[in-house]
Amino acid sequence: MSHRPARSIAKTGASPADYSTSAANLDGAGATPMMAQYIEIKAANTDCLLFYRMGDFYELFFEDAEIASRALGIVLTKRGKHGGADIPMCGVPVDRADDYLSRLIALGHRVAVCAQTEDAAEAKKRGPKSVVRREVVRLVTPGTITEDRLLDPARANLLLAVGRRKISDAAYAYGLAALDISTGRFSLSEVEAGELAAAIARHEPREIVLSETIHADPGLARLWREIPAAVTPLAQAELEPASAERRIREQFGVATLEGFGSFTRAEIAAAGAALLYIERTQVGARPILNPPTREASGETLSIDAATRANLELTRTLAGERAGSLLAAIDRTVSAGGTRLLAEHLAGPLTNLPAITRRHEAVTFLVNDPVLRAALREALARAPDLARALSRIGLGRGGPRDLAALRDGLAAASGIAERFFAQSVPLPDDLAALAQRLGQVDAELIEALRAALADDLPLNRRDGGFVREGYDAELDEVRLLGQDSRKVIAALQARYAEETGCRTLRIKHNNVLGYFIEVPQAVGESCLKGLMRDTFVHRQTMVDAMRFTSVELGELEARIAGASERALALEGEVFDALAVRVMAQAGIVAGVAEALAALDVAASHAELAVELDWTRPFVDEGLGFVVEGGRHPVVEAALRRSGEPFIANDCDLSGEGRGRIRLVTGPNMGGKSTFLRQNALIAVLAQMGAFVPARRVHLGVVDRLFSRVGAADDLARGHSTFMVEMVETAAILNQATRRSLVVLDEIGRGTATFDGLSIAWACLEHLHEQNGCRALFATHFHELTALSQRLSRLDNATLRVAEHKGEVVFLHEVVPGVAERSYGLQVARLAGLPASVVARAGSILKGLEKAERERPSRPRIDDLPLFASLAPPPPPEPPQERADALRLMLDGIDPDAMTPREAHEALYRLKAERSSEPSA
């Protein structure tokens, strides 16, 4: 049976043991000692590819080798036989292992890294056939990687654990623990079952761990299949509530969790599962984690997975960052700031005081361009403190991580000094950030500056990273090594003179060490001549001979000893510095968070100044007024091509309850852009950013729903229309008065009257039951008549002009109703053959003529489809109707009206006239 990555295992519900490779099932009794060791280690890690260290390579055998060979595109070879069959083998160099690991992790595989834990010399002491001891030192999985080369600096690498508790006979509450061991982030939350998918989508985890019981729940099976992350089930027996709380206490060295806040049983279960998984994958190494913070239910704007995809918040529908809202608004200059910006965008706030504090910080930086420029310059020089600290804490750090801490802390100290020098009081958020940045220990920065050289290697084992003059003993050992090399050069010159051979060289390789090399003829004379008592023969080559001498051997020992001693001393310096850093890990982590938050605020300010965005007014009401709103992503694309974006207003502020705007207009007229831009403005406002509009007044939105566009979901057996109905059902069942709903073309995926009736009923439900603020775009022009019955529904349309038979889309939203959809014009623009467009035009004219000439065409109100609707109010008497029309006309002053006011007046008169009863 073939090996499968963890994600596939989780999807089938099988345990990892079911996927043990053939190598693990082999009897090791007849194997070589090395292969027996491999089989034993592999048997304990059956759900992983095993990277087995042999010298300078990580080797893979049996089925692991076949999988890795295909996945990595490397040569599959063989090494000996086992059970009468060749053993497949492939390998990757140790110094390039990270590159191969990243590719395997991206494909969903888990990798067990097996390292040599003793020297070969120690192994030989146990016997000539003894194998070097090896152990798995860590498991590399998508949610637990820390290496800089494996991580995306702009994206959090979250591990999400799921726990649950029973709240009734048929219902559960689910706890979520979100951890990023590369930065120390650790947050807990609890959601109801109906919100679980949306909560997971907000976190965008790389890997999910959960109990086998939750994983096997039939009601959640589809969710685990659809999540774009590795899903790893854990044995239920390992996740007892008591052990979960104990793990949390041990991680943070506390006797009780009360100091961190109050957590539910589901949250504690999730946290325990996450810590168990980290303990297992890190093989005893304990990452630096921030104390857990609890996210209360309702603190962030609820956005389900379909809405996130439709609005392309952090990724486009194609999965790319470019073209998303995140890419359009990102002006951050640090990796930590970029990750925090994505986190804020994924979870906009609903807490009004917190939103206001963020806006005040941005406003302060907008109004002080000199300070903003200085901050951004300092932030751009600050390396990724959080990830450097994490690697140091796990024992995987290198000299460059210490340098990152040095430079990041120095930048933070400089920023704090600038803030404290401000003569104007800082807003609350900036004042709090300044206090955290001011906690930096200047002595730690100075110690790192004094110890680290200017040019640093990637790994500590390479040496040469301690500055000359920092450690006297190290300088002495280094000098010994340098002097020895000078002595070798002098010894080579003396031997050349004594032998009379100008081409004599003293060389070095890993097999012989230092040796003397002379041409063959000179070598023969050395064996018989004066040098026979000095030179000791080592090797004869085709055209050269190699020798050693007592003097050269002693010198080699001195050099080797000096090099090893120098590496040992540098290791001691590194460890001492790491201990000093970890003693202040909490402060350093807080500084990293403060730098990221400051970068996000400065990014918002820079964006606002650059693109002329304005501060939104946000309150607890139900208002939604946008004046001159623009779509941030579309506007950015048009700006690159030199085209202007047509701004539009939107008012969804109903009296006591939200207003619904029914938008009609031609295809390609801009309906979808108008719908999306208002949803995005709400997201931007509540994440704490300024918005692309002249003025915005927004009552806090609790849930955002968007049903825009259409696609099949063939994997689930769902047609376009089924997907549309599933998403619409979720909206109608969950939207509240405080929600914002954006719906586009509901009912278009089925027969005309079916679709019309569904769209009609949805509008009524939104108006009467949900009472939410909503934008509803449609091609069912019959629905516009509902504005006469539903008091909080009004009509809007996209303006179109025709010139010499050509249609011009003006992209301007105005009150009123579209006359037609201009489908034929769009078909022509799309490139349909002229004959097809002409034939379609002919058919359309015939259908329209037949419709006009139908002798007793019923009104839409009279169709059986709508027979259940409440009858309209009785009409006014003809004379009263006429008097009302005269009053309306008397109140109109054509000379004082703008074109738009005149247009609106005509619509009012027409609506009043059309409502008269027929004779």
* Residue 425: both structure tokens together: 């009081």
Report residue 391 CA to chain centroid gap.
Answer: 20
* Residue 140: both structure tokens together: 């590399």
Dist CA 853 CA 390 (whole Å) = 78
Contacts for 4 with CB less than 8 Å, ≥ 6 apart? 19
Pairing of strands 207-211, 230-234: parallel
Residues 370, 599, 353: CA angle, nearest 5 degrees = 100
Contacts for 890 with CB less than 8 Å, ≥ 6 apart? none
Report residue 448 CA to chain centroid gap.
Answer: 32
Contact 158, 205 (CB under 8 A): yes
Check the annotation: does 671 bind a ligand. yes
Check the annotation: does 669 bind a ligand. yes
875: number of Cβ within 10 Å: 12
Check the annotation: does 290 bind a ligand. no
Dist CA 180 CA 175 (whole Å) = 17
Instruction: Specify the amino acid at residue 307.
Output: T
Phi, psi of 804 (to 5 degrees): 55, 45
Three-state SS for 218-274 is HHHHHHHHHCCCEEEEECHHHCCHHHHHHHHHHHHCCCCCHHHCCCCHHHHHHHHHH
Dist CA 695 CA 351 (whole Å) = 21
Three-class DSSP category at 506:
strand
Cα dihedral: 375, 381, 387, 388 (round 10): -130
Contacts for 377 with CB less than 8 Å, ≥ 6 apart? none
Dist CA 545 CA 537 (whole Å) = 8
Residues 85, 86, 90: CA angle, nearest 5 degrees = 145
For residue 563, count CB atoms less than 10 angstroms from its CB and return exposed for 0-12, middle for 13-18, buried for 19 or more.
Answer: middle
Dist CA 204 CA 345 (whole Å) = 12
Three-class DSSP category at 552:
helix
Nearest C-alpha neighbor of 746 from the set 735, 736, 757: 757
Dist CA 182 CA 568 (whole Å) = 28
Instruction: Specify the amino acid at residue 832.
Output: L
Dist CA 649 CA 645 (whole Å) = 13
Instruction: Specify the amino acid at residue 744.
Output: D
Contacts for 628 with CB less than 8 Å, ≥ 6 apart? 647, 648, 649, 693, 694, 695
For residue 913, count CB atoms less than 10 angstroms from its CB and return exposed for 0-12, middle for 13-18, buried for 19 or more.
Answer: exposed
Contact 438, 412 (CB under 8 A): no
Three-class DSSP category at 690:
coil
Dist CA 383 CA 376 (whole Å) = 13
For the chain, give me the number of helices (H) and strands (E)? 32, 27
Residue with tokens 């009053």: 887
Nearest C-alpha neighbor of 471 from the set 378, 582, 572, 561: 572
* Residue 452: both structure tokens together: 């680290």
Check the annotation: does 351 bind a ligand. no
Distances in whole angstroms, Cα of residue 54 to Cα of each of 42, 92, 114, 188, 826: 15, 10, 9, 42, 65
Report residue 388 CA to chain centroid gap.
Answer: 19
Check the annotation: does 81 bind a ligand. no
Check the annotation: does 668 bind a ligand. yes
List binding-site positions for ATP.
665-672
List binding-site positions.
665-672
